Structure 1
């Protein structure tokens, strides 16, 4: 990924979040299939892999 790209990269899979015992739930559908992504500006966002909802 080039510096300055608006793309986000996956930093933690849902399985590794669950293994740590801190799985967040999607506020839209309640699923724990949630990925944590890191944007170019360093902000953290969560994305539900079940319904596609994203939040921070």
Structure 2
């Protein structure tokens, strides 16, 4: 079983820009401002985020 699972909060097929979608503003990277962010779920239930554009991670 993998240690973590990724869930992308900005699907590829989403309307552009994602921030104008009906479900509210997209999550953005605090480092580069990109909305290409993945949610990382750890074994202990912790949640953090990783920017797939620049690699910055935060929780």
Normalising by structure 1, we get a TM-score of: 0.72
1:27 partnered with 2:30: yes
Q: Where do 4+ consecutive residues of structure 1 move more than 6 Å?
A: none
Counterpart of 2:52? 49
Unaligned runs of 5+ in 2: 13-17
Structure 2 distance, partners of 1:22, 1:39, is: 25
Which protein has the bigger helix share? Answer: 1
Unaligned runs of 5+ in 1: none
Aligned CA-pair RMSD: 2.0
Q: How many equivalent pairs are there?
A: 50
Normalising by structure 2, we get a TM-score of: 0.69
Structure 1 distance, partners of 2:45, 2:26, is: 21
Deviation track 1:13-55 (CA, whole Å, cap 9, x = no partner) reads 2218x56434211000000000111001101101000000000
